Structure 1
Amino acid sequence: MTEQKANLRRWMAPSGRGGQVLPITRWVARFIIPFLAAAFLVLYGLPSQTTTYFAWTIRPEMTPIVMGAGYGAGVYFFYRVSTVDEWHTVAPVFLGIATFTWLMAIATVLHWENFNHSHFTFDLWVFLYAVTPVLIPAIWALNQRTELGELEGGELRLPQAVRVLGGALGAIVTASAVVLFITPELMVGVWPWTVSPFTARILAGWFALFGVVNGVVVLDPRWSASRILVQSQILGFTMVLIGVVRVWTNFDPSNVLTWGVVGGMALYMFAILLLYIRMETG
């Protein structure tokens, strides 16, 4: 028993100076990656076959493509969590993921009847969103205790304008996501592609993740605190925009929101790509 307690302490303590990713955080990341990879392969690779391969039927294809792109970006993010040393480089994203998992859990309860209860992926979905709403915040709180809270001089920092704009965008998107999650009917009649109250809430969960990470990351001015987030977003938005081309027939070109949503994603993608190039090349 004493040896087991010693092993547990080693899992829950950094191996060197403060601010490091804990061993238990790495193992949680490795545990989550296969679930995200499987969801990515099904939703992004086979968006028209969710009845056969996923926990519930999703129509039309654009919604599973958005979800799949998000899970694909999540695979990259959690891979980086399992390999980086400094906690602050991944910490802000955990708060967005925690928000997302809670909204997914609530949506699951509210729309229980929509699931294919006989499919094994339903069991995986329920398991994932029963565990992660507790696991992700707990890991964040545990690892956050290692953060020194002091910024080292000379570190590359985000421009003040980027932090202000990012924080404002994050606050607006988060507030909008909460409203849409509570009243998904607001999306049903106006969204660029067909959504149900269930899929509207699922999309609102992804919007909330995006909003929270953009809002929280501005609290730490170091570029190193944003680099992995920006890399993940570039990957995710690239896949979503490719998906738009793949299933353009899902969209209503006469709907002004079609051009607002697609144009907004393209503009944001262009902006963060320019930011990344500028920060990495000096």
Structure 2
Amino acid sequence: MSDWRVELRRGLDTAVHDDRVLPVTRWVARIIVPFLAAAFLVLYGFPTRTTELFAWTIRPEMTPIIMGAGYGAGVFFFYRVSTADEWHTVAPVFLGITTFTWFMAIATVLHWENFNHTHATFALWVFLYAVTPVLVPAVWALNRRTDTGELGADDVRLPRTVRVLGGGLGLVVTVSAIVLFVAPDLMIGVWPWTVSPLTARILAGWFALFGVVNGAVVLDERWSAARILVQSELLGFSLVLVGVVRVWDNFDTSNVLTWGVVGGMILYLGATLALYLGMERR
């Protein structure tokens, strides 16, 4: 029997608390990376060409840029999953990704008519969001049994204030994302750039991912459990802010929410970078 099948059987039959990343988890990460990389290249690299290159037409460019930035951060994250030695260092993000895939799957069903059914990327989109809402939580449930939950000799604790603030922010963003997903018209009327019911729900899915992974810091005090999450967020928000500069004409500058959204992202990126540098020096 091949090594990965042996490891999978061990994971199913026993709870071995050695904090390892199971081979099946690594393989799932390796399989997902090319899909995310392709989405990143199309959406972030060519946001004006979604009609010919993507599963549906997205206008204006800021929405595909946000999606592309998220997928770019996802490439980094799943690469780290495929190379990580300890499960707990990547575990919290799986909860957010699970929530995100559910949002994407439901949005696809609700807005089926908006997709380009003849495009190859539509088939890839449907495949990805038919499989991952089950696959990602299954991998998390299987691999979580290996986590010792213990603070390592070289690890440090996240400050309680950071965990409380992160958890509070995560809760607020997650609840807001659910509300916007259920009632996208609330977003359409006030958002800084034009969104449709479909793109409003897609963006709500990205907000939910952000909210859940931030809320997950309440569950684990180990800095090592947050490090890769924070690195992924730094990359994702940096890409988004570069995208803001690229397509600034998409924004309604007379809308106060424009300055709140952009300013909030800048502040969050700065605070997250300060946290990362501070924790790494400990």
**Please, what TM-score do these two structures have when normalized by structure 1?**
0.96
Pairwise CA RMSD of aligned residues? 1.4
Number of residue pairs matched by the alignment: 278
1:128 alignment counterpart = 128
1:200-215 → structure 2 map (5 Å cutoff): 200-215=200-215
Quote the offset at 1:138 in angstroms.
Answer: 0.1
Asked if 1:46 is matched to 2:43, the reply is no
1:266 alignment counterpart = 266
2:145 alignment counterpart = 145
Aligned counterparts of 1:192 and 1:12: Cα–Cα separation in 2: 50
Aligned counterparts of 1:92 and 1:238: Cα–Cα separation in 2: 21
Identical residues among aligned pairs (%)? 74
Aligned counterparts of 1:99 and 1:10: Cα–Cα separation in 2: 27
1:9 alignment counterpart = 6
- Cα shift readout 1:129-165 (whole Å, capped 9, x = no counterpart): 0000000000000001111233346621111111110
Asked if 1:102 is matched to 2:102, the reply is yes
Q: What letter is aligned with 1:244?
A: V
Query: Which runs of 5 or more structure 1 residues have no equivalent in the other structure?
Result: none
Quote the offset at 1:12 in angstroms.
Answer: 5.0
Quote the offset at 1:9 in angstroms.
Answer: 2.5
Query: Which runs of 5 or more structure 2 residues have no equivalent in the other structure?
Result: none
Quote the offset at 1:224 in angstroms.
Answer: 0.3
2:217 alignment counterpart = 217
Using a 3 Å threshold, how does the CA distance of structure 1 residues 7 and 40 change in structure 2: closer, same or farther?
closer
Aligned counterparts of 1:74 and 1:213: Cα–Cα separation in 2: 13
Is the CA contact 1:13–1:22 (under 8 Å) kept in the aligned structure 2? no
Aligned counterparts of 1:160 and 1:58: Cα–Cα separation in 2: 41
Using a 3 Å threshold, how does the CA distance of structure 1 residues 7 and 49 change in structure 2: closer, same or farther?
closer
Aligned counterparts of 1:12 and 1:158: Cα–Cα separation in 2: 34
Instruction: State the SS of the aligned residue for 1:58.
Output: coil
Quote the offset at 1:7 in angstroms.
Answer: 5.3
Is the CA contact 2:62–2:243 (under 8 Å) kept in the aligned structure 1? yes
1:182 alignment counterpart = 182
1:16-165 → structure 2 map (5 Å cutoff): 18-152=18-152, 155-165=155-165
Is the CA contact 2:4–2:23 (under 8 Å) kept in the aligned structure 1? no
- Cα shift readout 1:41-89 (whole Å, capped 9, x = no counterpart): 0000000000010000000000000000000000000000000110000
Instruction: State the SS of the aligned residue for 1:191.
Output: coil
Q: What letter is aligned with 2:140?
A: W
Using a 3 Å threshold, how does the CA distance of structure 1 residues 144 and 11 change in structure 2: closer, same or farther?
same
Q: Which runs of 4+ in 1 moved over 6 A?
A: none
Quote the offset at 1:178 in angstroms.
Answer: 0.3
Aligned counterparts of 2:165 and 2:7: Cα–Cα separation in 1: 40
1:198 alignment counterpart = 198
- Cα shift readout 1:12-64 (whole Å, capped 9, x = no counterpart): 547x9611110000000000000000000000000000001000000000000
Quote the offset at 1:195 in angstroms.
Answer: 0.1
Aligned counterparts of 2:149 and 2:213: Cα–Cα separation in 1: 19
- Cα shift readout 1:227-264 (whole Å, capped 9, x = no counterpart): 00000000000000000000000000000000000000
Is the CA contact 2:29–2:79 (under 8 Å) kept in the aligned structure 1? yes
Aligned counterparts of 1:143 and 1:271: Cα–Cα separation in 2: 31
**Please, what TM-score do these two structures have when normalized by structure 2?**
0.96
Using a 3 Å threshold, how does the CA distance of structure 1 residues 7 and 229 change in structure 2: closer, same or farther?
closer
Is the CA contact 2:20–2:87 (under 8 Å) kept in the aligned structure 1? yes
Quote the offset at 1:10 in angstroms.
Answer: 2.4
Instruction: State the SS of the aligned residue for 2:270.
Output: helix
Quote the offset at 1:281 in angstroms.
Answer: 1.7
Q: What letter is aligned with 1:56?
A: W
1:238 alignment counterpart = 238
Is the CA contact 1:13–1:23 (under 8 Å) kept in the aligned structure 2? no
Q: What letter is aligned with 1:9?
A: V
Is the CA contact 1:170–1:214 (under 8 Å) kept in the aligned structure 2? yes
Quote the offset at 1:8 in angstroms.
Answer: 1.6
Is the CA contact 1:12–1:23 (under 8 Å) kept in the aligned structure 2? no
Q: What letter is aligned with 1:172?
A: V
Instruction: State the SS of the aligned residue for 2:146.
Output: coil
